[in-house]
Structure 1
Amino acid sequence: MDRKQHIAIFTTASLPWMTGTAVNPLFRAAYLAKDGERKVTLVIPWLSLKDQKLVYPNNTAFGSPSEQESFIRQWLEERTAFISGFAIRFYPGKFAVDKRSILPVGDISEIIPDEEADIAVLEEPEHLTWFHHGKRWKTKFRLVIGIIHTNYLEYVKREKNGQFQAFLLKYVNSWVVSIYCHKVIRLSAATQYYPRSIICNVHGVNPKFLEIGKERFEQQHSSNHQAFTKGAYYIGKMIWNKGYGELLQLLNNHQKELAGLEIDLYGNGEDSDQVKEAANKLKLTVRVHPGRDHADPLFHDYKVFLNPSTTDVVCTTTAEALAMGKIVVCANHRSNDFFKQFPNCRIYDDDNGFVEATCKALSEEPVPLTDAQRYELSWEAATERFLKVSELNQVFATERGKNSSKEFASVSLNLWKSMEDTSAYFHYLALGFETTRRAFGAIPGSLQPDEEQRKELGLATSSKHSL
């Protein structure tokens, strides 16, 4: 049968929550569908109104999935300047306050009909499968690709009993990703190791940021004026683990060396009040502001982006700052390896290096990006990297018409498959009971969607599933 390959992209967040797993999978869907050679569906969480109020900023709320879809498409088209040809479908989700995350409810693989189940891309596969109870992803889809976005182990280590929690989480992550994914893409080496994984940054930058950077240097060249008239800033979700802890500690330890430094911090988050309190204690001028869209003209004049975070995997705002032509000062950390190729990226190893890099960046002018460097940051380049490392075309051609009973020819592979199937079945059984789900950390009542979400999403009455 000659038909277009279907790619279903499942992710753990959606706009207007401005988090990486809401924004990056959205752009991935748009650019994979852009040439019309494949059918693409983006599958995102739908939250009930009470959860929307907990998650979405500025009291934004949607009465229906179609209303939220319209918002998402308008936001995307304003940034890409083309009409996207992909579909959007919603799965039922609930917000876990303790994890500060949206978790799936029920068997979300059902959102894609069996006849369209070619390729599944799981953005944050561990997150999507911790509490999965339903058809096994590898059984339903010809190919399942997991993209590791988040350094969960680093976050957990900073909590109470963090080392022990991280030890357990490492093995749980490896377990679920192994039984549910054929192939794993790690955005950087900052994530934990997974078997059958490859390290590749398959994220790009919103094209609006590249336009801003190009226009800024064209204006400078034509008018012979400074492109950047403001100093240093940082933008990110305002929680300690997103770099604010490291940054304020560095500023506190080196107030004398950094005398005269002025820095603006932008963000919304659970730790906003504490960040403001810590900033006010410094002798330096550190202003704390509510979060804004990074593309806002307010940010265009800043010259230096300070990001000492060591919990990121590949920081989206760092890439955006580089695209806008700014100098970025960041830690010599595996999460920043991709950025080292750009001349405006200034890496430091220790406190003294941070002070030196910051002072030098403020005294110099950024180097204009070449066309090749701009392309490397783009979603076109990111999509090329994704298609190359995932080998989608090769896999689809091989799998078409293939008899699954002949999938493993050797005894050793059959043995491995048998062990993996047993492990997957154990996960299926364990996550089928409310008691064990709660023990694993699932949200109470998340085995099946409630009647409110079923009605909002037009879902059928609940039914039993098999692997």
Structure 2
Amino acid sequence: MDRKQHIAIFTTASLPWMTGTAVNPLFRAAYLSMDGDRKITLVVPWLSLRDQELVYPSNTTFILPSQQEKYIRQWLEERTGSKFNFTLQFYPGKFAVDKRSILPVGDISEIIHEDESDIAILEEPEHLTWYHHGKRWKNKFTLVIGIIHTNYLEYVKREKNGAVEAFLLEYINRWVVHIYCHKVIRLSAATQDYPKSIICNVHGVNPKFLEIGKKKIEQQKNGGQVFGKGAYYIGKMIWSKGYRELLKLLTDYQKDLAELEVDLFGNGEDADEVQKASQDLELSVKVHPGRDHTDPIFHDYKVFLNPSTTDVVCTTTAEALAMGKFVVCANHPSNEFFKQFPNCILYDNSDGFVKAIFKALSEEPEQLTDAQRHELSWEAATERFLKAAELDQPLARKPQKTRSKKFLSLSLQLGRKFDDASAYIHHMTLGFEGSRRVFGAVPGSLHPDEQQCKELGLASPSSRRGSKK
């Protein structure tokens, strides 16, 4: 019997951290496993207790990986109403406070056995490979697909010496992604460009949001009041997530928008500053702690405001559209996918922002068609992914031999040698603690420590060193 094709999905975050790279790869694993044609493994970071306390909200921590797996699966089942047949595994990770990111420790490609190394999906491939030291991903797996989630360059540009750092980061990202990935999918044109990459939104929305939207349609048909509240925004409460842009627009047009009431929801490092800035406005702008976007408190809002231009494809924008709301957002590459929906109102400038709000407040959102709802779903996102990754075609295709293309063959050989040399340089550079620290790696991330090995059932560092003698 032919064994099932195996897909391993590696990502940079995990629930209960409510970030895009924790949620979207989880749904991808679930929906890829639905038809049972492939074997799916989702590989997520495991943090020590100290790091968990820094990252996970509401004092949620886990002593064992099995406890976190139970939490993740329960969260998924509550939102989909289904159980999914995929494997969940953990790799050792450490939280980099300066980057507000989880970084892999050791060679995480080892999590997947050689017999099952068919396809690897690297969610945020640049992030997963900046400090990779181990077997080359392209050599380990038959096909490596990178999905670009984050506009790292835009975030870096906003920091001190941002222009210089962004210039260097752009080339480092391009280098490591080229070394380790066969294919690259960019969620939107808002990301950094990569050679031979394709642009395709391969994300969907939690089905709960589509259910909320259907209930709103029934309310409308029965003549009930569908949306009794005005405008809101929900997002991680840091300035770079659109709060600065939104508060500036509201400040500049306070008189024009005198009747507007806006509620902001989120948690983050800049929450106190956002609260203070909102209090200086003459408008009614209230700041609230973050909540799950499915919370009933959001169901009656009519208008979702999202001026952010740092997102790649904003998940909360898709969720608001699925719930049947108006969305007012910037005419920006990150919002290109949303242009197809009639309730998405784009603006090009400050005057356009004001006009868009008046339009949204004075009109009623259109009901989404079945086709439009499907386009927002994870079923459609999975279809788009399989097509973009060409996984609907045979995986292994041997090149045909031909005598008339010796030059092309020579070019390919030279290209491979150059790639191999680049990978070797990266491998050697990142193989020493000192050089890793120079490039910003977390201290002690070359190999997992004794505690992580014990928690994950990995060979201890001492036994690893002994086996290499």
Q: Where does residue 238 of structure 2 map in the other structure?
A: 239
Within a 5 Å distance, the mapping from 1:33-48 to structure 2 comes to 33-48=33-48
Match of 2:165, SS? helix
Q: Where does residue 321 of structure 1 map in the other structure?
A: 320
- Give the partner amino acid of 1:65: P
Within a 5 Å distance, the mapping from 1:279-358 to structure 2 comes to 279-358=278-357
User: 1:257 deviation in Å?
Assistant: 0.8
User: 1:397 deviation in Å?
Assistant: 4.6
Residues of 1 paired with 2:274 and 2:117: CA distance?
A: 46
Query: For the Cα contact (< 8 Å) 1:170–1:192, is it kept in 2?
Result: yes
Q: Where does residue 260 of structure 2 map in the other structure?
A: 261
Q: Where does residue 440 of structure 1 map in the other structure?
A: 439
Q: Where does residue 402 of structure 2 map in the other structure?
A: none
Structure 1 position 413 matched with structure 2 position 384: no
Structure 1 position 181 matched with structure 2 position 181: yes
Of 142-151 and 77-86, deviating more is: 77-86
Query: For the Cα contact (< 8 Å) 1:204–1:379, is it kept in 2?
Result: yes
Match of 2:231, SS? strand
Q: Where does residue 88 of structure 2 map in the other structure?
A: 88
Query: For the Cα contact (< 8 Å) 2:449–2:460, is it kept in 1?
Result: no
Q: Where does residue 248 of structure 1 map in the other structure?
A: 247
Residues of 1 paired with 2:228 and 2:396: CA distance?
A: 54
Q: Where does residue 404 of structure 1 map in the other structure?
A: none
Q: Where does residue 424 of structure 2 map in the other structure?
A: 425
Q: Where does residue 403 of structure 1 map in the other structure?
A: none
Q: Where does residue 15 of structure 1 map in the other structure?
A: 15
Residues of 2 paired with 1:396 and 1:81: CA distance?
A: 32
Cα deviations across residues 92-141 of structure 1 (Å, max 9, x unaligned)?
01111100000000000001011110000000000000000000000000
Query: For the Cα contact (< 8 Å) 2:265–2:290, is it kept in 1?
Result: yes
RMSD: 1.5
Q: Where does residue 71 of structure 2 map in the other structure?
A: 71
Within a 5 Å distance, the mapping from 1:132-143 to structure 2 comes to 132-143=132-143
Cα deviations across residues 384-410 of structure 1 (Å, max 9, x unaligned)?
00000101242425379xxxxxxx981
Identity %: 74
The size of the alignment, in residue pairs, is 458
Match of 1:265, SS? strand
Q: Where does residue 53 of structure 1 map in the other structure?
A: 53
Cα deviations across residues 403-444 of structure 1 (Å, max 9, x unaligned)?
xxxxx9811001000001000000000000011101111011
- Give the partner amino acid of 1:43: V
Q: Where does residue 169 of structure 1 map in the other structure?
A: 169
User: 1:47 deviation in Å?
Assistant: 0.5
Query: For the Cα contact (< 8 Å) 1:9–1:122, is it kept in 2?
Result: yes
Cα deviations across residues 261-307 of structure 1 (Å, max 9, x unaligned)?
11000001111111101111111111000000000111000000000
- Give the partner amino acid of 1:330: C
Q: 1:399 to 1:120 in 2, by over 3 A?
A: farther
Query: For the Cα contact (< 8 Å) 1:233–1:304, is it kept in 2?
Result: yes
Match of 2:43, SS? strand
Query: For the Cα contact (< 8 Å) 1:5–1:396, is it kept in 2?
Result: no
Query: For the Cα contact (< 8 Å) 1:9–1:42, is it kept in 2?
Result: yes
Residues of 2 paired with 1:29 and 1:299: CA distance?
A: 28
Residues of 2 paired with 1:259 and 1:199: CA distance?
A: 40
Residues of 1 paired with 2:28 and 2:408: CA distance?
A: 35
Cα deviations across residues 332-368 of structure 1 (Å, max 9, x unaligned)?
0000000000000000000000011011101111100
Query: For the Cα contact (< 8 Å) 1:238–1:244, is it kept in 2?
Result: yes
Query: 5+ unaligned residues in a row in structure 1: which ranges?
Result: 401-407
Q: Where does residue 152 of structure 2 map in the other structure?
A: 152
User: 1:461 deviation in Å?
Assistant: 2.7
- Give the partner amino acid of 1:333: H
Structure 1 position 111 matched with structure 2 position 104: no
Match of 2:397, SS? helix
| TM-score, length basis structure 1 | 0.96
Residues of 2 paired with 1:202 and 1:289: CA distance?
A: 31
- Give the partner amino acid of 1:2: D
Residues of 2 paired with 1:73 and 1:274: CA distance?
A: 36
Query: For the Cα contact (< 8 Å) 1:326–1:366, is it kept in 2?
Result: yes
Query: For the Cα contact (< 8 Å) 1:244–1:309, is it kept in 2?
Result: yes
Structure 1 position 277 matched with structure 2 position 306: no
User: 1:216 deviation in Å?
Assistant: 1.0
Residues of 2 paired with 1:413 and 1:431: CA distance?
A: 27
Q: Where does residue 371 of structure 1 map in the other structure?
A: 370
Residues of 2 paired with 1:130 and 1:354: CA distance?
A: 39
Structure 1 position 453 matched with structure 2 position 452: yes
Of 1-10 and 423-432, deviating more is: 1-10
Of 356-365 and 305-314, deviating more is: 356-365
Residues of 1 paired with 2:435 and 2:162: CA distance?
A: 22
Query: For the Cα contact (< 8 Å) 1:182–1:196, is it kept in 2?
Result: no
Structure 1 position 130 matched with structure 2 position 130: yes
Residues of 2 paired with 1:53 and 1:149: CA distance?
A: 25
Query: For the Cα contact (< 8 Å) 2:343–2:366, is it kept in 1?
Result: yes
Residues of 2 paired with 1:433 and 1:196: CA distance?
A: 32
User: 1:170 deviation in Å?
Assistant: 0.1
Residues of 1 paired with 2:336 and 2:47: CA distance?
A: 36
Residues of 2 paired with 1:96 and 1:271: CA distance?
A: 18
User: 1:182 deviation in Å?
Assistant: 0.2
Residues of 2 paired with 1:203 and 1:333: CA distance?
A: 18
Residues of 2 paired with 1:435 and 1:362: CA distance?
A: 57
Query: For the Cα contact (< 8 Å) 2:147–2:184, is it kept in 1?
Result: yes
Query: For the Cα contact (< 8 Å) 2:124–2:150, is it kept in 1?
Result: yes
- Give the partner amino acid of 1:276: Q
Query: For the Cα contact (< 8 Å) 1:246–1:308, is it kept in 2?
Result: yes
Query: For the Cα contact (< 8 Å) 2:210–2:322, is it kept in 1?
Result: yes
Query: 5+ unaligned residues in a row in structure 2: which ranges?
Result: 400-406
Query: For the Cα contact (< 8 Å) 2:454–2:460, is it kept in 1?
Result: no
| TM-score, length basis structure 2 | 0.96
Deviating beyond 2 angstroms after TM superposition, the runs of 4 or more aligned structure 1 residues are 397-400, 461-466
